[in-house]
Amino acid sequence: MRARRRQSALIAAFAILAFAIGSTPVATAAMPSTIVSTTPAAGAVPPAPSTASQTLPAYAPVVPGRPLRFPEDFGSHPDFRTEWWYVTGWLASANGQPLGFQVTFFRTKPAIDDRNPSAFAPRQLLIAHCAISDPRHGRLWHDQKIRRAGFDLAGASAGDTRVWIDSWSLRREAGGSAGGDGDRGSYVIDIGADELSLQLRLTATQPPMLNGDGGFSRKGPAPGSASYYYSVPHLTVAGTVSRGAGVPETVSGEAWLDHEWSSEYLDGEAVGWDWLGINLDDGGALMAFRIRGENGSTRWAAASARDGAGGVQSFSPADVRFTPLRTWRSPRTGTLYPVAWRVRVGASEYDIEPLMDDQENDARISTGAIYWEGAIRAYRAGQPAGRGYLELTGYGERLRLR
């Protein structure tokens, strides 16, 4: 019965995807993840319409100097091409067993005629991924969904965080004041999939951390390759999870949320990225990424670090270095991933080790991408320094943003 339900869901997903974008395949990976394509025009503006009667959408640009405002920027930005809300974290069950979890909702605005009057026109697509990293299982429990927005079956609200596909949802509830950065509040996750479920409340203990230059985050040498990007580290987590046919378990832990939106994320020379977000044990936080070029070299890099007292520092490409220490090859796809790293940000250096090696995420059903995304531990000078998540994209094949 479960297999038949899953097969029906996959057929429906493919049908919606085909209806939405014709013959163009899409893929996604979060930086956590975004919408990508395997077509040749990487990072390019959509092709010109073939007839004068078509009007493709004009996407909003990402420009420096635009201040982020809360709570408005907790919500959706439908004029931009791609957007995601990306939640990762570490949980412990009542017996202390460690688990990693990831929930991501994506919104993308397809290149379709804006004047199409049909209520069925896919003016916005919603995609969701969820996964649990369970060392006892040895690989991810995961699931995925894709729907066009509308008919109250899927959507992303402006003004504050509320994004959903069917019964899967992520929403923010207002809470205590955090001064000029908006109230901190709580995020509520409700995911009920065939192989896993998560019902979690994530309560903010810190204000948003603006990445890059006040939330303007460069992704390449060209100024146009950029996003608006903030993180919410050190969310306290409480709730229940289940895996397989197991009963729900009470869990608690700590999480990280990223919210990012853009219209031109990567340039044509980029093949993928390495990203990490770490909740440091001293109350600080570290976000770092590098964009890789064709030969594996670093095309761009950046980082943001918040110390335990709340001070935030941004780092330029010259200040960030990712050095792989150990690899793991997937027995399913044959892809070789560098799963252990040494990451230098400014004067600080961290060694990164995964909770388990096999945290490969196969998202081909919804978006066409396969990537590594998993829970990691961070060490500094040989001592535990924090826990977080690592994402590795573009190792099996080149990612091309659309």
Q: What is the DSSP string of 35-67?
A: EE--SS-TTPPPPPPSSTT--PPPPPPP-TT--
Average pLDDT over residues 360-372: 78
Average pLDDT over residues 39-50: 39
Between 116-130, 136-150, 156-170, the lowest mean confidence (pLDDT) is in 116-130
What is the distance in angstroms between the CA of the first residue and the CA of the last residue of the chain? 36
Confidence of residue 368 (pLDDT cuts 50, 70, 90): low
Q: What are phi and psi of 18, to 5 degrees?
A: -65, -40
Average pLDDT over residues 189-194: 94
Secondary structure E strands in 37-161: 82-93, 98-108, 125-133, 140-148, 154-156
Q: How far is CA 306 from CA 68, 230, 288, 330, in A?
A: 18, 12, 12, 34
Are residues 107 and 26 in contact, defined by beta-carbon separation less than 8 angstroms? Answer: no
pLDDT at res. 319: 97
- Mean pLDDT over the full length of the chain: 84
Spatial separation of the C-alpha atoms in residues 81 and 186, rounded to whole Å: 27
Q: In this structure, is residue 108 part of a structural domain?
A: yes
User: Greater confidence, 107 or 34?
Assistant: 107
Q: In this structure, is residue 57 part of a structural domain?
A: no
Query: Taking the model in full, what pTM does it have?
Result: 0.84
Spatial separation of the C-alpha atoms in residues 75 and 187, rounded to whole Å: 12
Cβ density class 306-343: b for 16+ within 10 Å, e for less: beeeeeeebbebebbbbeeeeebebeeeebebbbbbeb
Average pLDDT over residues 306-311: 95
Q: In this structure, is residue 401 part of a structural domain?
A: no
Q: In this structure, is residue 399 part of a structural domain?
A: no
pLDDT at res. 33: 41
Residue 95: Cβ within 10 Å count: 6
pLDDT above 70 for 47: no
pLDDT by residue (tens digit) across 192-251? Answer: 998 899 999 999 999 999 999 999 999 999 888 999 999 999 999 999 999 988 889 999
Angle at 381 between CA 287 and CA 217, to 5 degrees: 15
Q: In this structure, is residue 185 part of a structural domain?
A: yes
Range of the domain at 87: 2-44+62-392
* Residue 66: CATH number of its domain: 2.40.370.10
Between 272-276, 279-283, 396-400, the lowest mean confidence (pLDDT) is in 396-400
Q: In this structure, is residue 55 part of a structural domain?
A: no
pLDDT at res. 224: 86
Q: In this structure, is residue 90 part of a structural domain?
A: yes
Short-list 264, 238, 295, 218, CA closest to 60: 264
pLDDT at res. 316: 96
> What 3-state class would DSSP assign to 72?
helix
User: Greater confidence, 23 or 208?
Assistant: 208
Average pLDDT over residues 70-79: 96
Confidence of residue 114 (pLDDT cuts 50, 70, 90): low
pLDDT at res. 366: 60
Q: In this structure, is residue 288 part of a structural domain?
A: yes
pLDDT at res. 113: 63
Spatial separation of the C-alpha atoms in residues 378 and 367, rounded to whole Å: 30
- Number of domains making up the chain: 1
Are residues 278 and 378 in contact, defined by beta-carbon separation less than 8 angstroms? Answer: yes
